[in-house]
Structure 1
Amino acid sequence: MFDVDAYLGRIGWTGGAPRPDLATLRTLHKQHLMTVPYNVAGQGFADGVHLVDVDEDEVFRTGIMEGLGGTCFQLNRLFFRLLSALGYEVSLLAASTAEGRENFGTEIEHMFVRAVLDGEEWLVDVGYPGPSYLEPLRVSDEVQTQYGCQYRLVRKDDEGGEAIALQRRGRVTRWGTVYTFRLQARQWHDWKELEDRARAHHATAAPDDGQGTLCGRTFADGQAVLKGRRLLVVRDGRERVRTVVDDAEHQRLVTALLTGDPDLAGLA
């Protein structure tokens, strides 16, 4: 069963009774990312795709307490529930990566959270493989820096109204879009069409040869993301990318990212 105290303990909260303020939100956000991995195989895909009709208690037990992780539809959904229970004013937002729109033809491929604190809006996302922000981002026009990386929100008008591109760059890389979204509150059922499309896509997917892997883990000063055979490691804004050819090394990397043991595959 979903349990707030157990949740807080699992992600390493040691500050006593949490207050619904920005300092607490920053700590919970980063601790969650460091404790629970993004794992596309963690929840909801073994027996089909479940994005809307989710057993939150079961996902809480396996994804959070047992550390199997999950995708945005499990992790951000549970974090939304946690923040609500702690007294935060939160709503769900939808976004799309370029790849997501190409595969599923929709702008609501991703689920994340908006929190409102003292009249300011903050983006909250513990369900993205990375690289992305490790702490909440203020909704503003300023460039924000976290752990050597910079982030900005670029606004543009299109036929659906104002859209916002969340962009990121490392110390020596150019600006690139993480995902595009609108500041429009969403409900669970908004993702039903995507669930149907994802099921059709999943049913016709080729057998896994490692190319279907997608997992990510946050460390104190960055992130590591394994997408298929491509490994991206970001430390203090410096990026290293390589292709993993050896099957045994690939498996060690998956295990390292899911267990949080960076030494296991030389990620430290």
Structure 2
Amino acid sequence: MFDVDAYLRRLGRPGQRPRPDLDTLRTLHKQHLMTLPYNVAGQGFADGVHLVDVDEDEVFRTGVLEGLGGTCFQLNRLFFRLLSELGYEVTLLAASTAEGRENFGTEIEHMFIRAVVEGQEWLVDVGYPGPSYLEPLRVSDQVQTQYGCQYRLVGADDGAIAVQRRGRVTRWGTVYTFRPRARQWHDWKELEDRARAHHATASQDDGQGILCGRTFHNGQAVLKGRRYLVVRDGRERVRTVVDDTEHRRLVTALLTGDLDPGDLA
């Protein structure tokens, strides 16, 4: 069963419930990313793809208490509930990634959060594999720096906003685009139907269906299929993992957090 105090203990914040201020939000956001992995297989799709009618208590047990993590539909949904019960003003937002548009043809794809703290809006996202922001991103036209990476919000004529990121030596690239419009759970029903059809025909035998990510204190590591990306202090290293044994080891290490120093070099 969903339990705020158990959730906070899992995130390393036992004891008295914290105040719903910006410092708490920053701490919980980063600690959430470091504690619970992005894990497509974490909640499993053996019984079908469920994005709307989600058993939050069961997802809390497996994703948080057992540490299996999940995707945006589990992690951001649970974090939304946690922030609400702590007293934050939060709403759901929908974004679209390049991969989502290619596979599902919809802008209502990724699920994340907008929080209003002391009159300022912040983007909150603990359910993206990365690379992306490790701490909440202020809704502003200013460039923001986190752990060697820069972020900016760029508006388009159609009202959409792109969250863009660049490392120390890389160009600006779009993480995802969104419209600043509050969403409801049922807005993702169309995506759920399309994801079920896509999942039924997808093959994961060669490891290409793998997508998992883990945040550490100054960066992130992401394994997408055979492509392994590490961002550390804004410096990026990417390679293709050919060896099956190493691939399985990296999957396990990312999900458990037991990464060797060489994995993050």
- Is TM > 0.5 for Structure 1 vs Structure 2? yes
Q: Distance in 2 between matches of 1:226 and 1:60?
A: 24
- Counterpart residue identity of residue 135, structure 2: E
Aligned residue in 1 for 2:30: 30
Displacement of 1:46 after TM fit?
Answer: 2.4
- Counterpart residue identity of residue 122, structure 1: W
CA contact 2:213–2:221 (8 Å) conserved in 1? yes
Aligned residue in 2 for 1:251: 248
Unaligned segments of structure 2, at least 5 residues: none
Displacement of 1:43 after TM fit?
Answer: 1.2
User: For structure 1, which segment, 38-47 or 25-34, has the greater mean C-alpha deviation from structure 2 after superposition?
Assistant: 38-47
Displacement of 1:16 after TM fit?
Answer: 3.5
1:47 correspondence with 2:44: no
Q: Distance in 1 between matches of 2:46 and 2:264?
A: 28
Judged with a 3 Å threshold, the aligned counterparts in structure 2 of structure 1 residues 130 and 3 are, in CA distance, closer, same or farther, namely same
Aligned residue in 2 for 1:80: 80
RMSD over aligned Cα atoms:
1.2
Mapping for residues 98-137 of structure 1, pairs under 5 Å: 98-137=98-137
TM-score scaled by length of structure 2? 0.98
CA contact 1:252–1:264 (8 Å) conserved in 2? no
- Counterpart residue identity of residue 91, structure 1: T
1:56 correspondence with 2:56: yes
Percent of aligned positions with the same letter in both sequences? 87
Mapping for residues 200-211 of structure 1, pairs under 5 Å: 200-211=197-208
Residue by residue, what CA displacement relative to the aligned partner does 1:156-175 show, whole Å, maximum 9, x if unpaired? Answer: 122xxx10000000000000
Q: Distance in 1 between matches of 2:96 and 2:117?
A: 25
Q: Distance in 1 between matches of 2:96 and 2:260?
A: 33
Displacement of 1:14 after TM fit?
Answer: 4.7
- Counterpart residue identity of residue 203, structure 2: A
Corresponding pairs, count: 265
Residue by residue, what CA displacement relative to the aligned partner does 1:95-146 show, whole Å, maximum 9, x if unpaired? Answer: 0001101100100110000000111100000000000000000000000000
Q: Distance in 2 between matches of 1:44 and 1:248?
A: 22
SS in structure 1 of the partner of residue 121 of structure 2: strand
Q: Distance in 1 between matches of 2:140 and 2:44?
A: 34
Q: Distance in 1 between matches of 2:226 and 2:53?
A: 31
Q: Distance in 1 between matches of 2:205 and 2:224?
A: 13
Residue by residue, what CA displacement relative to the aligned partner does 1:3-36 show, whole Å, maximum 9, x if unpaired? Answer: 0000000011157320000000000000000000
Given the alignment, which residue of 228, 231, 244 partners 1:231? 228
CA contact 1:44–1:51 (8 Å) conserved in 2? no
SS in structure 1 of the partner of residue 231 of structure 2: strand
- Counterpart residue identity of residue 72, structure 1: C
1:260 correspondence with 2:257: yes
